[in-house]
Amino acid sequence: MLQKFWQKCILIFTTLLLLSVPSLVSAKEKISFMYLYGETTEKYIELFEQTNGAVNVVSPNYFELDTNGSLVINVDPVLTQYMQKKQIKVVPYLSNHWDRNRAQLALNNPQKLAADLAQAVLNYNLDGVNVDLENLTFDDRQKLTYFVSLLKEKLSPHGKTVSIAVGAVDKPIYSGWKSAYELSNLSQVVDYMIVMAYDQHWQGSAPGPVAALPWVKSNLEYMLTQIPKEKLVLGIPFYGRYWTNGQGGAGIWYNNVIKAVAENNGTIEFHPEYRVPVARYTDSNGNYKEIWFENAQSLQEKINLVNIYGLKGVSAWRLGQEDPSIWKDYANWLYGTYFQDITNHWAKEDIIYLSERNIVAGRSAQIFAPDAGVTRAEAVAMLSRIFNWEISSTNPFTDVPDSHWAIQPILMAYNHSIVRGISADKFGPEQNLTRAQLAVILQRAFALEYSGEINYDFYDVPEHHWAAKEIYALKGLGLIAGRTLTDYAPEAKVTRAELAAMVARIIRE
């Protein structure tokens, strides 16, 4: 039934698909870095396979320091081979597991540590290394920078990356473990820096969020004064922390939070200011539990910062602790093709489908406004992104001046008899499109014909209605439905979600 339509635009639309679908392997590729820790090879692979292609760098704990500060190598060749066969970069991290003495001993002989580490990366054909030395001091900062520079010097000629994880701060500091990082100097040495924007509250602190959104933004804005945005990777937490009677703060995974809340008839609130969920309940022993954690909504809002600030990418600690529902949308969040206001919307998949193909745009980078009305100008602008219409040389509409943002799509559609004006000299570009008008426009644009039997079963669209032919043709093709079983609501305004859904259905047929 749609053969005529495809003959008309299959070449144009195929070209559009090839040009506009975002590719995860491109010059504009963003880093999606994932730490791996504490699991078996089989479990790592199982967890990775759930990520839906959203991760392009994994960082297993292959490198550690012993009590003498010497390098300990624990490379897993099976895991490395599995990841690299899938074209996933393997960039293991060097950890001192918060042991200050081991890291300081190692930095006392930076040439040896850099040589040993670089040789291991080359011997095992790894893609680089991430330096994650924590709990050092302000006095160690120059030694750390020097070691990283030696490592970069040895690995860069071989095309291997060197990155470093640093603590997030919102101002210059001169004491505490986060003071050990010479941010500006390090940024000139490494390929990228992972800013660990978490542990706002920690084990031993008062209860509170691991990474409240305002806190993350405040830290990020200062870090960007020290680190170029094209080298900054935002580190986010997959874990939460729980307190018992106001004490504790140990880590907890998402699935365990949900289980504990269900077993204890607890409550979960999404904090309106901190933009993270918090769970509360009293257990069977009378102990009051408070859990601050992360879910899909809170992680989406953090990942959106990558696009807002133009960052290199995102990193997460660690795989297996997360809300598993994130993986269906994680890549969309990272690549800015996902809108905050369609998370649970019935037309979400259709909107994403068209957005990925540059056929629809949001009202802003994060807002689609799915339930807002569609203007006549917006409707023809969407269709003009699909069809290679020629523009008319004359403009009969006095309400569409040369400065109007949609003058070209409007005149294109008019020139091809897809739309008419609301009068001889008025187009009504800002008028809301009605459902009857939409049916007519879609039928004309896509040359849709229905040859089956027509049942005039909408009470408000009798056979003599001016748009009856088009409405029932699209209904017969299964492309539109009524607002109810018996009412089409032809004069009701079309929402942006309805328009996206109808166009997506036509294209998919």
134 catalytically annotated: yes
Q: Are 201 and 292 in contact (CB under 8 A)?
A: yes
Q: What angle do CA 164, 166, 172 make, to 5 degrees?
A: 135
Q: Are 434 and 373 in contact (CB under 8 A)?
A: no
CA distances from 8 to 386, 410, 411 (A): 11, 20, 20
Category of 353 on φ-ψ map: left (φ > 0), alpha (ψ -120 to 50) or beta:
alpha
Size of the chain in residues: 509
> β-strand 267-270 against 31-36: which pairing, if any?
unpaired
Encode 478-489: b = buried (16+ Cβ within 10 Å), e = exposed: ebbebeeeeebb
Selecting among 42, 134, 230, 491, the annotated active-site residue is: 134
Instruction: Output the six-digit token pair for 4.
Output: 């005529």
CA distances from 290 to 241, 242, 257, 261, 311 (A): 8, 6, 10, 10, 33
DSSP helix/strand/coil, 58: strand
Instruction: Output the six-digit token pair for 177.
Output: 């473990």
Residue type, 372: A
Q: Nearest-CA neighbor of 446 among 355, 380, 488, 507? A: 507
Active centre residues (catalytic): 134
